[in-house]
Amino acid sequence: MAIAKAERLMNLALCLLGTRRPLSKRELRDSIEAYVEAFGPGNGPSGNDDSFNRMFERDKDDLRELGLVIETVESLDGEIGYMARRDSNRLPPITLDAEEAAALGLAAKVWQQARLAGAASGALQKLRAAGLPEDVDPYGSHGALEPRIPVHEAAFEPLMLACRDRRPVVFDYRKATAAHPEQRHVEPWALECWRGHWYLAGWDRDRGAERVFRLSRITGKVRSRGGRYTAPVPDVVTVRETVAGWAGEIADRSARIRLRSDAGYPLRAKATSVRELGDGWDELEIPYGHGLDAWLVEFGPDVVVLEPAELRADVVDRLRAVAKG
């Protein structure tokens, strides 16, 4: 959200919360500096009335979407007024047990980024003012636990804001098997960290399907696009499950490969059986799931896929794509 708009919404919310009687559109227009600067006073020329009315209705809808309860009241002379009663917009008392308080304190310390750290710290102070115990140690009795969620990708912050604001984006993305990046038009849903890497789940407009993108493969800037989402956002976005499936951790078959005797130790750790073939080669049987072909390519000439045939073909295709690059 732009700073100017956020400031205008804050001023409108304060006016509606601070009044003891309903305020008309004209009174709100004259009370908020952003409205006066953009459209002039309410008793001035009426040329900008339509533009003001459209902006006011959008601002009012935005505040309601953020959770502010705004009442519409009609006076005896038929004039419409607006107000937000404090008793209708007050949170219920917050009661937390020791475990819940510790979990909140721990969560507030997770983020390293300044923008998120400030928001988390401010939220924690408000919770303490509302009754969060001061003596709760979120790290345990000796403070030995120091949680961190590292974010090094420049794409993280714009994508986080786009997910929050439900705003379509455009970025260049290089797949693991591609030599050059391709432009993607995405409706972002959720960001999630899995094994030290951040992933974005969303609707790929060009492919007309749900996709998951690894942030480290986004090149250049993430650019926002106007307009609404064209696909519904699912209630549950399973980013980790999707990535785990791609990584071969959700396996329903077995693959048989040849592996050089002095190579591929991560593959050996996953193998269900290993048989020496001689001449510096071993035969391994490993769980086979989606994404195993991309992993095998990383071992280059040290791996030869024996079966299944479709896995062998996928690995060959990936190696050819890398060779062309």
Looking at the structure, do residues 116 and 175 belong to the same domain, yes or no? no
> For 15-45, how does the pLDDT look when each residue is reduced to its tens digit (9 = 90+)?
999 888 999 998 999 999 889 888 887 665 5
Residue 15, Cα to own-chain centre: how many angstroms? Answer: 32
Residue 244: C-alpha distances to residues 195, 247, 290 (Å): 10, 5, 9
Q: What is the pLDDT of residue 51?
A: 87
Q: Which domain holds residue 28?
A: 3-88
Query: Do residues 77 and 28 both lie within one domain?
Result: yes
Question: Of 73, 88, 103, which closes a domain?
Answer: 88
CA angle 215, 221, 222 (to 5 degrees): 65
Are 160 and 216 contained in the same domain?
A: yes
**Could you say which of 231, 246, 261 is where a domain stops?**
246
- DSSP three-state, residue 41: coil
Same-domain check for residues 67 and 97:
no
User: CATH no. for residue 52?
Assistant: 1.10.10.10
- Are 266 and 320 found together in one domain? yes
For 181, the token pair is: 């990046």
Residues 99 and 83 in one domain: no
Cα–Cα distance measured from residue 313 to residue 318, given in angstroms and rounded to the nearest whole number? 9
Q: Which are the contacts of 238, defined by CB distance < 8 A and separation ≥ 6?
A: 201
- The token duo for 260 is 């050089």
DSSP string, 252-321: EEEEEEEEETTS-HHHHHH-SEEEEEETTEEEEEEEEETTHHHHHHTTGGGEEEEE-HHHHHHHHHHHHH
The segments of the chain whose pLDDT lies below 70 read: 1-3, 42-48, 91-92, 94, 96, 98, 101-151, 176-177, 195-196, 243-252, 289-291, 325
172/240 same-domain check: yes
Model pLDDT, residue 83? 92
pLDDT at res. 180: 84
Are both 187 and 139 inside the same structural domain?
no
Give the chain's domain count: 4
Q: What is the pLDDT of residue 139?
A: 45
User: Domain of 230: which CATH number?
Assistant: 2.30.30
Domain boundary among 230, 246, 262: 246
